[in-house]
Homo-oligomer: A and B are copies of this chain.
Amino acid sequence: MINVGIIGSTGYAGENVVWILCNHPEAKIIFVNSHSYTNIPFNKIYGNFNGYFEDECISNSDMEDKLSQIDVLFLGLPSGKSFEIVDKANKMGLRVIDMGADFRLKEQKNYESWYGLKHESSHLLQNSVYGLCELNRENIKTARVLANPGCYPTASILAMAPLLKHMLIDNDSIIIDAKSGVSGAGRSASIGNLFCEVNESIKAYAVATHRHTPEIEQELSKFTEKDVFISFTPHLVPMNRGILATCYAKLTKVISEEELNELYSEFYKEEYFVKVLKDLPETRWVKGSNQCHISVRVDKRTNRVIIVSAIDNLMKGAASQAVQNMNIMFGLKETLGLEFFSMAP
């Protein structure tokens, strides 16, 4: 049994980790921590936990006392808030799964320029492991500080990796137009995310400036000799969950849709959580699951390939991928506690 603590457990990503672990046969929640809801039972914040998980959220100071009882620490904190605690936990020998952004970018200056923050635990960057399970499984097994991927990067990288690995596209031609449900914006009180401000509308935001851009570029560049630079545009969609990434690139050779589809199917054939489908993905089919659906289209008229991928931003894009990483790190069956699939409608 793996003993788990969760910091920032009342954010949407944290809460979904709690939800998954309540049903995980090899994990036990030792504590849930929350800065905002200290001493409040978890089910008073999230009523779905009534009868299932009713522990009180503990304070930061109480949590520090409990660190010695756990094997792994999950973090769901805003950018720049995890430096100290990750450092401490690491020194104590705990394994850390950070769902935030602080340990994803290997280049400190890259982090500091995109996030506008000084990195205060940069000594950990070299050994932190980027936790996109399907593409980095071997390194994850031994990771001490695991940087769980961002939601947009997960959908984007899974969509583009086969093309880059097989050198089928012009690396300068990549455009990723991504659409996210509102839970991606987190659970802090802000006028911009009020129901009436978001409902019945769609917008692009952070055009050409979104922080997930360098993360996607870093990971895609691993497949190529030349660094990859992309245009990335996120959009906000009036739905709770889901990310759809529509990815464009110029093909450098003639290849049919059927051939590409086979190449993708081959690339992901061993993966339980990635499905290459002929039908175009819809976020509703992956909502609430760790699944990623991918479909390939070739636009012969323009010689472009269009890859569409769909994930649940809080699941494969955060909490369930974090648990998938835990399973890998602790030598468990990778799918343990994550076999559930989306409910419709």
Chain A residues in contact with chain B, CB under 8 A? Answer: 12, 15-16, 19, 22-23, 44, 46-52, 172, 175, 177, 179, 182-183, 187-191, 193-205, 207-208, 229-231, 233, 235, 237-242, 244, 246, 248, 272, 275, 277, 279-289, 291, 293, 297-302, 304, 306, 308, 310, 339-345
* Residues in chain B near residue A204, CB distance under 8 A: 244, 246, 280-281, 306, 308
* Residues in chain B near residue A51, CB distance under 8 A: 272, 275, 291, 341
A52 touches B281 (CB 8 A): no
CB distance from A32 to the nearest CB of B (A): 15
The answer to whether A282 and B195 touch (CB under 8 A), given A189-B189, A340-B23, is: no
Count of identical protomers in the assembly? 4
A194 touches B194 (CB 8 A): yes
CB distance from A10 to the nearest CB of B (A): 10
- 7 extra interchain contacts, Cβ-Cβ under 8 A, other than A200-B242, A203-B244, A208-B301? A175-B248, A189-B189, A189-B194, A195-B198, A202-B244, A235-B244, A248-B248
Q: Among the listed B183, B229, B241, B282, which residue makes an inter-chain contact with A47, where contact means beta carbons less than 8 Å apart?
A: B282
Across the A-B interface, give the 8 residue pairs with the lowest CB-CB distance, nearest first: A201-B284, A47-B285, A208-B299, A48-B342, A196-B345, A203-B282, A177-B177, A189-B189
B183 touches A50 (CB 8 A): no
Whole-angstrom distance between the alpha carbons of A116 and B345 in the complex?
Answer: 30
CB distance from A85 to the nearest CB of B (A): 24
Whole-angstrom distance between the alpha carbons of A208 and B52 in the complex?
Answer: 30
Whole-angstrom distance between the alpha carbons of A44 and B242 in the complex?
Answer: 20
B199 touches A344 (CB 8 A): no
A345 touches B231 (CB 8 A): no
